[in-house]
Structure 1
Amino acid sequence: MGAEIDLADEQAAGIFSAARIRSRLTQGGHSIAAFRDTLAWGRERLHSLFYEGLPADSLVHARSHLVDEVLRASWHKFLPDAASGIALVAVGGYGRAELLPHSDIDILLLHQDGALEEYRSALEQMTAFGWDIGLEVGQSVRTVAECVAEAEKDITVITNLLEARLLTGDAALFEQMQAALTPDKLWPVKDFFEAKKAEQQARHRKYDDTGYKLEPNVKESPGGLRDIHTIGWVTKRYFGAQTLGELRERGFLTQQECNELFAGQDFLWRVRFALHMLTGRHEDRLLFDHQIRVAELFGYEDDDKNRAVEQFMQLYYRTIKSLSCLNDMLLQLFEEAIIHPLPGGEPIALNPRFQVRSGYLEARTDDIFQRYPWALIEVFLLLQQHPKIEGIRAQTLRLILRDGRLINDQVRQSVQARSLFIEMFREGRGLTRNLRRMNRYNVLGHYLPAFGRIVGLMQYDLFHTLTVDEHILYVVRNARRMAMQRFRQELPFCSQVMDRLAKPELLYLAAFWHDMAKGQGGDHSALGADEAERFCLDHGLSHSDAALVRWLVQNHLLMSLTAQKQDLGDPNVIAEFARLVATRQRLDYLYLLTCADIRGTNPALWNAWRDSLLKELYNLSVRTFERGIDNPLHAEERSAEIRTKALALLESQGIGRERAETEWKRFDDDYFVRQTPEELTWHLPAILSAQEQDLPLVLVASIGGRGTSVFIYTRDRDHLFGLSTGVLARLGLNILDARLHTTDDGFVLDSYVVMEGDNTPITQPIRFDEIRDALRKVLSDPEVSTIDVNRRVPQRLKHFNTPTNVHFSQDDTRGRTILELVTADQPGLLSIIGRVFQKRGILLNAAKIGTIGERAEDVFYVTDRMHRPIVDEHALDDLREVLIRTLDRDPA
C-alpha cells in the first residue's frame, strides 16, 4: 500500500476530489474556519445527493473520502513531512471506508517506541484541532506489539484491525502491523470464524433472534448491516480478501446472490443515512419518531389498504429477511469449508431425493427441486421427522433459494405438496422451527400466496410488536408449547385443557390462519375464515374439522374482547358468550388460541390479570354448558356460591357466619359476583375492625395471583374515582380494572387491580406501603378535589393520532348505561374522565380498563345520581362532546 491511498470508488472521489478539498483548505489558509466550512460544505453536498437519489454506497464512500482528506491535511499541518515511526490508520467501519454523516470515526495512532514522545506536542495540537473543527474521532494509541497483545485477548480488537487502512505516515510501520496480525500468528481462521459466529448468535439473542420488532436497529438487529459485516470479516480472514465481491470470484456467491447482497446493503445504508440526516446524530434505530419521515423520504404515500410507513417498513423487513437468508447460507458455506473441509463419512440416504451428510440434510442431486418442486416442502417435513439433523447443507440451501419460484399453482394443487404440508401440522414436533425456516427461505410465501402477502407487513401502532408473519409464527409457537411436557409449568391450566384436544393440529392450523387476511382491507377475521376453510378442505381435512378451523379464525377475538371489555359479573354476558361458542369443544380450542394470540401479540399484554380473566370466563362458560345454555347461572346464585366459599375461609380467621352475613347485608349482589372468595376474606376482617378514625381504609396486597389489588372502604365523597385514579397514576401505576360499589348507607367499596408502569408485578412491601399512604393522605383531606398527574406523555405516544371516539349502549337488565371510549393513552387519563363524570353528575358503577399500545380502550358502566340509566339522547350527546373536547386537547 502507498503512503496515502485514495479510495478506489471513482464516483466517491468524483464527489469530493482530493484536489478540490485541498484547494478549499489552502484558500482558507488551513484555518479552523476553513476546515469547518469544508466539512459543512461536504455535509450539505451529501444531503443534496441523497435527495437526488445517488446510490448509498457512493455516499458512504464519499463521506469517508472527505474525512480522509481533512485528517491528512490536519496531520500535515502539525507534523513534518519527514515524520517517521508514526502512522495515522483508519480502523473499524472507517477503515472499510464506510462513513455515514454521523458514524464513529475510529483511528489508530500507530507508533514505534520513542516516536510518540518526539511528536507528542504536535499530536496533542492535532487532537485539539480536530475537536475545534467539529471532527470527533475515537482514537487509540498503540505500538505494533501492543496491537498484537490486545488483539490476542479480544476478538473485537482483531476485527477492528482487520479493517485497517493507512491514511498517512510511516507505511513500513503499517505493513509491519499487518504482518504481525496474520492468521498464522494469532486468531487462526477456524478460531476466528467460531468466535464471530458465537458473537453474532449472542447479538441476535439480544434482539430475541428477530429483526422484525416494531423499532428495529438497522445495524445490529438480525438481518442488519452487522450481519453483512460478519460475512466480510470472515471473508477477509479466510481469503485475505478486501471486498465482498471476491466471494463471487471464489465461487461462494452467484452473480444473482451477489447482486442481492449489495442491493440489500445499499438499502440499509440508505435507511441509516436518512436516520443520521434527519436526527443530526448517530442514530441506527428505526424509532417511531423517524419511520414516517423516512418513509416520506423514500417516496411512499398512503393508499387504500396500507399507510406509507407500513409499505416502507414492509420493504425494510423483506430486505433483512433476504439478507438473513444469505447470511445463513454463507455462514454454512464457511462452516463446511473451514470447520469441516472434507465430508465426514458416507452419506446416509433418507429417501431417493435426500440424504444426511455430517449431520446435515442435503439434496442427492442439484436438479432435485426442478424435477420434484414439491420436494421443497418435503425438506422441512424431513427436518421435523428427524430432529437429530442439525440443519441444511449450504449447497441445498442455495438450491432452495434458487428454485422456490418453481412452486406454481400446479405444485400447490398437487397431492404430494398438500399431503406433505398438512403432515407438518399433524407431526407437531418441530413445527414452529420449520415453519420459520420455510418463511426465512421464501418457501412458505411461494406455497401460500396469502402468507406471502403478509411477509414483513407491520401495523403502525404500539400494540402489535411484530410483523404479521412473525406474529402468526409466534402464536403457532405458543400453541405448540402448551402441548410440550417441558413447558407444562409455563401455563399449567392451558396444558390441562390442551390434553383434552382430540386433534391439536386444528389448533395449530387456526393459529396459522387467524391473521392471514390482514392488509387486504375489510374484516380480516371473516376474510381469513373463508381462506382457512378452503385451505383445510383442499388439504384433505373433513368438513367438520374445516368448519371448526373456520369458526376459530372468524371468532379468534371473541374471548379476549368478552373477557377484557365486558362485565364478567353479569350472568347475561356469560350466557351470551356461551351461546355464541355453543360447545365445550369450541371453548377449549378458542381458549387456547386466545392465550396463544395475546402472548404472541405483545409480551407486555400477558399478565396474571388477563390470565385470570380468561380462566374466569372459561370456567363460567363450562358451568353454563354443564347446566345447559338455556339454564344460565343467575347473579343471586353466583353471589351465594362465592359467599359460601368465603365463609369457609373466614371461619379459619375466627369470623363466624352470622357476623359475616350481618355485615354483608349492607352490600348488593354486584359486589359479591365481582370479587373472588379470597378477596372477600381479605376485605371483611378489615371492614369489621375499622373505626371512623380509621377511614379511609386502604388495603394493598397481591391476592390470588391476579396482580396487585387496591381496596378502598370509606364514606362516599365527590370525585372519589378521579382522586383515587389520579393518585395511582401519579405513582406511575397502570390500572387494569376498577370495580366500584356504593352501599345504601353511603359507604364505597372500590377495588382496583394495578401493575407497575412497565406492566411488571408489584412485589416489594415498601411499594404497597407507598400506595396505601398516598391514597390515605389524599382521600382523607376534604379540601383536595383534583389531582394533577405531573407525568409527561411518553415520547413514543406522541407519534400517534388516536381521536377520541365515544359509543353508548344500554344495559337494560341491570339498569345502567355502557360508555365505550377509545382515545389516546396519557398519564392520568382515568382521573380526567372521573373529573368529567363528577362535574356532570354521573355515577360510575364499574370500569373495564384496556390500554392497547398507544390507545386506551375503556368501558364504563354509569348511571345518573339517582342510580338510573342515562337515556336522554341530548344528555348523552352532551357527554360525548365534553369527553372528546377534553381528551383531544394536546396532552403535551
Structure 2
Amino acid sequence: MTEAVNSKSNAAADLVRARSHLLDGGLPGNPRLDAESLRQAMVDLFEFWLTSKAAELGITADSGLAVLAVGGLGRQEMLPYSDLDLVLLHDDIDPARVAEVADQLWYPLWDAHIKLDHSVRTVPQALQVAADDLIAALGMLESRHIVGAEDLSNLLIGGVRREWRSGIRTRFDELIAQAEARWERSGEIAHRAEPDLKNGRGGLRDMQLLDALALAQLTDAMPGLGPDVPGGGLPQARRRLLDVRTELHRVARRSRDQLRAQDADEIGAALRIGDRFDLARTLSDSARTVSYSVDVGLRTAANALPRRGLARLRRMPVRRPLDEGVVEHAGEVVLARDARPRRDPGLILRVAAASAQTGLPMSATTLNRLSEDAPEFREPWPKDALNDLLVLLGAGRGAIDAIEALDRTGLWGRLFPEWGVVRDLPPRDVLHTWTVDRHLVETVAYAGALSTRVARPDLLVLGALLHDIGKGRAGDHSIVGADLATHIGQRLGLWPSDVRTLSAVVRHHLLLSDIATRRDLSDPDTVQHVVDALGGEPQLLELLHTLAEADSLATGPGVWGDWKAALIGELVRRCRLVMAGDELPTPEPIASELIAKAAAGGVYVDLKPGESKHTYTVTVIAPDSPGLLSDAAGVLALHSLRVLSAALGVEGASAVDTFVVAPIFGDPPDAGLLRQELIRATTGHLDVAAVLAERERAAGGVGAGRYARAQPRVLWSGTSVPGQVILELRVGDRIGLLSRLAAALAGCGADVRWAKVVTMGSAVVDSFCLDLGADDTSVRRDAIEKAILAVVPRVEPKTS
C-alpha cells in the first residue's frame, strides 16, 4: 500500500515539475517557448505521461482497455492550464479491475492539481451518451486514441462520427440554437474590449463548430474563403486565437478565456504583435474571418441537409432574376448561368447591391468566382458601377453584411485599396463601439436612413463611407482623409465639383461637433469661422449637419442626444443666416392675366399641356380660405393626377394656385369637371379626405406610399417678414399627400401665404410660407410639425 501511494506521489511530482519547467522556461538554451511550441510541448508531455502510466498499469493493445483524449489534448491544442479530458474505455472486463486502473490513472493527475474531466465507459455506453448529449457528442467528435486497445478506440471514434453524420438532420436546429445562445452570452470578439476568446462569436468554439459541420460532410473546413483573403484566412485566424489564449493562460497562471485589458500589452509583447491596440486589431481580423466562415458554413450546411419523406419530392428552387447577370437561388444571391465575370467587372457591385437590397446573403461560391475572375475597374469607373455602389451604400442596414462579405473575401479591398489601413483598426477611445472600418459602414447605414435631409444623398453616403479613411496614417486624419477622398472621388468618376465637395465633407466632418460643443454660439466670430471654413456653401453645411448625426449614432450609445443635436442645430441655423448663398424658397410671381381673373372673383380652373409630353399645368383661382389648398390638391389626386410641382400664391381675396401634374394613367379629365368637383369640395358636398383614405386602402397601403425608407424631415427657417416662417418638408410620396398636408396646416390654423412643391421620384420636397403672426413660438411650431408628421408616410418597420 505504501509503495502504491509513493508511486502515485512520485508520478504527480514528476508531472508538476515537467509542466512548471515548460511554463517557466523551456528547453536548455531556449529559455522561453513560443505559444505554438508550448502547446505542442504540453501535448507531448501529457501523452508521454499517459503512455508511461498506462504501460505501468497494463493498458496494452490486447488489454481490453484504451485511453482516449477529448478536448484540447484530443485536438492536439493543449493549453497550459486547460482541463484534461480523458475517457477510459473498456470491453466489458471485470468492474473491479476497471476501477483499480481508473483510480491509479486519475489520482496522480488530481495530486498534480491538473483539472481533470474523466469518464469510464464501454463503447455502447459512450455512444449512448453522445446520442443523448449534444455537447458530449461534439467533444467525442474530436477524440483521439492515446494508448491501449486501438481497435476499441477506433470503434468509438468511428461510431460517434457515423452517428453524427446520419443524425445531423435531427440535431442541426439544436446545434444552431446552442451556438446562438453562446453568442448572446459572450458577444462578438471583434468588437469587445475584453473578449471571450473561447466562447465569443468568432472564437475557438466556432472553429470547433465548423469542424463538426465538416465531419457531418455538410461543408468544407474553410467555407467561403480562398487562399488570398486578408489576414491569411481561417488557418491563420485559428492559430492567432490559440496563440493569444495560450499567452493569456501563461500570464494569468490559470485557465482563462476572457482577455483582460490589463493583460493585453504583455500578451501583445510576448507574441511580438505590438501593444494592446495591435493585439486588438489582430483579434478583430481573426474573429471576423471566423465569423464570416461560420455564417457561410451554417448556410451551406442548412442547404445540404438531407431531405426526407415528402421533402424529397419538392422541386428544386427556381432562379429569380435580380439584376443583369445576378439571380436569387436557394435563398442566396448568385451569378446567372450566362454571367461572364472575366468580361464584366461591374458584377461585383451588382451582386453586392442585390444582396444589400434584398437582405439575401451572397453565395460563397459566387464571391470566390468573382475574386478569381473579375477584372479590375478601369479608371474612372463606368457610370453604372458608380450607380451600383450608391445603391449598395443606400441600402441601409443591408449594406453592412454585404460589405463585410466583400471585405472578408478580398473584394472590397480591390475596389478600395485605401481600406486596408483602416481594416480592423481598433478605436483609440472608449466611446467607440466598433473598429474603424466597421464604424464607417455603420455610419453609411445611418446616413442612408437620413438621406431625405439632404439634396445630395449620393455625396452623403460617400462622405459617410470615407470620413475616417485617413485614420491609421501619420498626420491629422481629416486632412489625410480629404486627400484620399479626392483620389477616390476621381477614381469613381465624380464630377470635379462633386469631388471637391466630397473632399470638403471628409476634411470638415468634425467641424460642427467640435465648434457646437466647445465654442460660444452667440459669438458672431464663432459662426463666421464655420462659414469661412465651408466657403459659404449651404449644400456643404447641409451634408455636414446630417453626417454629424450619422457619425455620432454609429460611434456608440449615448454619443448623440438632444443636447448635442440642439447645439449643432443652432449652429447650423446661425450659419445659414450668415451665408450669402443660402437659398431660401421664395414665391413665384403671378402672371398678369391671372391677376385679372383673380380680381373678377369666383372659381376658375384651367388645364393646359405642360412642357413635357406627359405633363399638364392646372391653374386654380378661387376665393382664399383655409381649406382651399387641401380641397384643390385632393380633387387632383381623386382624378389620378399626380402633383409634380406646385406654386401657390394670393392675389387680393383670391388664391392663385398652379400645379404641374402627370396622369397616373390615361388622359387628364376636362377642366370643367375639375371645377365642378372643386366647388363640391369647398361647399362641403364632397369629403375629399374620406375618399382619399378609401383609395389608399384599395391600393394596398404599402404600394400606395404608406411606408418610407427614410425618416421624414421638417426644417424651419425665418423670413424678412415678421411672423412669417418657412416650413420645408422632405418625405416619401403618398396618395393625396399635398391635400393631407394642407388640411393638417389648416387644422392648426396656419395660414399658407405661398408654397412650392417638388416631387422627385418617390420623394417630395414641399416648402410652405406660413403666417403665424405673434404666435410664432416653439410650442406652436412643435404642434404644426406633429400634425404634419401624422399624415406623411411612416418609416418601414423592421421585419424579423
Indicate the TM-score class for this superposition, using the shorter chain for normalisation.
Answer: 0.5 to 0.7
**Alpha carbons of 1:78 and 1:42: their partners in 2 closer, same or farther (altered >3 Å)?**
farther
Aligned equivalents of 1:78, 1:438: Cα separation in 2: 56
1:344 deviation in Å? 1.7
Query: Aligned AA for 2:205?
Result: R
**Alpha carbons of 1:312 and 1:446: their partners in 2 closer, same or farther (altered >3 Å)?**
farther
Alpha carbons 1:525, 1:553 under 8 Å: kept: yes
Alpha carbons 2:189, 2:287 under 8 Å: kept: no
Task: Find 2:372's aligned residue among 378, 391, 402.
Answer: 402
**Alpha carbons of 1:80 and 1:86: their partners in 2 closer, same or farther (altered >3 Å)?**
closer
Is 1:441 aligned to 2:427, yes or no?
no
Secondary structure of the structure 2 residue equivalent to 1:101: coil
Alpha carbons 1:64, 1:97 under 8 Å: kept: yes
- Deviation per CA, 1:157-212: give whole Å up to 9, x if none: 21011112233456565455446535558961334445444544444455655624
Alpha carbons 1:472, 1:511 under 8 Å: kept: yes
Query: Aligned AA for 1:511?
Result: A
**Alpha carbons of 1:399 and 1:339: their partners in 2 closer, same or farther (altered >3 Å)?**
farther
Task: Find 1:291's aligned residue among 258, 264, 273.
Answer: 264
1:460 deviation in Å? 4.8
Aligned equivalents of 1:507, 1:208: Cα separation in 2: 31
Is 1:338 aligned to 2:292, yes or no?
no
Is 1:507 aligned to 2:474, yes or no?
no
Query: Aligned AA for 1:438?
Result: L
- Deviation per CA, 1:312-371: give whole Å up to 9, x if none: 544444444444454455444444443589992453455563333223222246983333
Query: Aligned AA for 1:517?
Result: G
Aligned equivalents of 1:35, 1:625: Cα separation in 2: 75
**Which residue does the alignment assign to 1:230?**
209
Aligned equivalents of 1:555, 1:183: Cα separation in 2: 62
**Alpha carbons of 1:179 and 1:532: their partners in 2 closer, same or farther (altered >3 Å)?**
closer
Task: Find 1:181's aligned residue among 160, 181, 188.
Answer: 160
Alpha carbons 1:192, 1:234 under 8 Å: kept: no
**Which residue does the alignment assign to 1:359?**
331
1:67 deviation in Å? 1.0
Query: Aligned AA for 1:33?
Result: A
- Deviation per CA, 1:542-582: give whole Å up to 9, x if none: 55554443333222222332344446687875676677665
Alpha carbons 1:374, 1:411 under 8 Å: kept: no
**Which residue does the alignment assign to 2:444?**
476
**Which residue does the alignment assign to 1:384?**
356
Question: Which deviates more from structure 2 when the two are superposed, residues 538-547 or residues 548-557?
Answer: 538-547
1:399 deviation in Å? 1.4
1:75 deviation in Å? 4.9
Task: Find 1:616's aligned residue among 538, 563, 566.
Answer: 566
**Alpha carbons of 1:518 and 1:260: their partners in 2 closer, same or farther (altered >3 Å)?**
closer
Aligned equivalents of 1:556, 1:98: Cα separation in 2: 47
Aligned equivalents of 2:413, 2:217: Cα separation in 1: 35
**Alpha carbons of 1:367 and 1:92: their partners in 2 closer, same or farther (altered >3 Å)?**
farther
1:99 deviation in Å? 0.6
**Which residue does the alignment assign to 1:98?**
77
**Which residue does the alignment assign to 1:71?**
50
1:53 deviation in Å? 8.0
**Alpha carbons of 1:526 and 1:166: their partners in 2 closer, same or farther (altered >3 Å)?**
same
**Alpha carbons of 1:398 and 1:330: their partners in 2 closer, same or farther (altered >3 Å)?**
farther
**Which residue does the alignment assign to 1:108?**
87
* Residues 76-87 of structure 1 mapped to structure 2, 5 A cutoff: 87=66
The two structures have a TM-score, normalised by structure 1, of 0.55
Secondary structure of the structure 2 residue equivalent to 1:512: helix
1:233 deviation in Å? 1.2
Aligned equivalents of 1:382, 1:236: Cα separation in 2: 33
**Alpha carbons of 1:230 and 1:181: their partners in 2 closer, same or farther (altered >3 Å)?**
same
Secondary structure of the structure 2 residue equivalent to 1:238: coil
* Residues 588-667 of structure 1 mapped to structure 2, 5 A cutoff: 588-603=542-557, 605-606=558-559, 611-621=561-571, 624=574
Aligned equivalents of 2:77, 2:253: Cα separation in 1: 18
**Alpha carbons of 1:277 and 1:367: their partners in 2 closer, same or farther (altered >3 Å)?**
farther
Aligned equivalents of 2:396, 2:538: Cα separation in 1: 23
Query: Aligned AA for 2:243?
Result: R
**Alpha carbons of 1:190 and 1:398: their partners in 2 closer, same or farther (altered >3 Å)?**
farther
1:213 deviation in Å? 3.7
Query: Aligned AA for 2:567?
Result: L
Aligned equivalents of 1:526, 1:254: Cα separation in 2: 36
**Alpha carbons of 1:50 and 1:513: their partners in 2 closer, same or farther (altered >3 Å)?**
farther
Query: Aligned AA for 1:395?
Result: T
Q: CA RMSD in A?
A: 4.4
Aligned equivalents of 2:23, 2:74: Cα separation in 1: 20
Alpha carbons 1:86, 1:116 under 8 Å: kept: no
Aligned equivalents of 2:127, 2:469: Cα separation in 1: 54
Aligned residues: percent identity?
Answer: 25
**Alpha carbons of 1:247 and 1:591: their partners in 2 closer, same or farther (altered >3 Å)?**
closer
Aligned equivalents of 1:540, 1:348: Cα separation in 2: 32
**Which residue does the alignment assign to 2:745?**
none
The two structures have a TM-score, normalised by structure 2, of 0.61
* Residues 44-193 of structure 1 mapped to structure 2, 5 A cutoff: 56=36, 59-75=38-54, 87-110=66-89, 119-120=98-99, 123-124=102-103, 126-141=105-120, 147-168=126-147, 174=153, 177-178=156-157, 181-184=160-163, 188-193=167-172
Structure 2: give runs of 5+ residues left out of the alignment.
1-5, 581-800
**Alpha carbons of 1:381 and 1:80: their partners in 2 closer, same or farther (altered >3 Å)?**
closer
**Alpha carbons of 1:559 and 1:109: their partners in 2 closer, same or farther (altered >3 Å)?**
farther
Aligned equivalents of 2:507, 2:73: Cα separation in 1: 54
Task: Find 1:272's aligned residue among 231, 242, 245.
Answer: 245
Aligned equivalents of 1:117, 1:27: Cα separation in 2: 20
- Deviation per CA, 1:232-285: give whole Å up to 9, x if none: 11122338xxxx9x969xx99878799844333333333333333333233344
Alpha carbons 2:394, 2:444 under 8 Å: kept: no
Aligned equivalents of 2:46, 2:260: Cα separation in 1: 28
Task: Find 1:393's aligned residue among 342, 363, 378.
Answer: 363
- Deviation per CA, 1:490-525: give whole Å up to 9, x if none: xxxxxxxx6433333332222111100112211111
1:418 deviation in Å? 3.3
Alpha carbons 2:224, 2:293 under 8 Å: kept: no
- Deviation per CA, 1:456-495: give whole Å up to 9, x if none: 2224553444321112112222333x44xxxxxxxxxxxx
**Which residue does the alignment assign to 1:796?**
none
**Which residue does the alignment assign to 1:37?**
17
**Which residue does the alignment assign to 1:282?**
255
Secondary structure of the structure 2 residue equivalent to 1:520: coil
1:617 deviation in Å? 0.9
Aligned equivalents of 2:227, 2:481: Cα separation in 1: 39
Query: Aligned AA for 1:624?
Result: R
**Alpha carbons of 1:352 and 1:118: their partners in 2 closer, same or farther (altered >3 Å)?**
same
Query: Aligned AA for 2:564?
Result: L
Alpha carbons 2:530, 2:575 under 8 Å: kept: no
- Deviation per CA, 1:20-76: give whole Å up to 9, x if none: xxxxxx9999444333223334445658899888793x6534422321222344455
Aligned equivalents of 1:529, 1:193: Cα separation in 2: 49
**Which residue does the alignment assign to 2:620?**
none
Secondary structure of the structure 1 residue equivalent to 2:561: helix
Aligned equivalents of 1:66, 1:529: Cα separation in 2: 57
**Which residue does the alignment assign to 1:371?**
343
Alpha carbons 2:189, 2:203 under 8 Å: kept: no
Alpha carbons 2:66, 2:90 under 8 Å: kept: yes
Question: Which deviates more from structure 2 when the two are superposed, residues 41-50 or residues 503-512?
Answer: 41-50
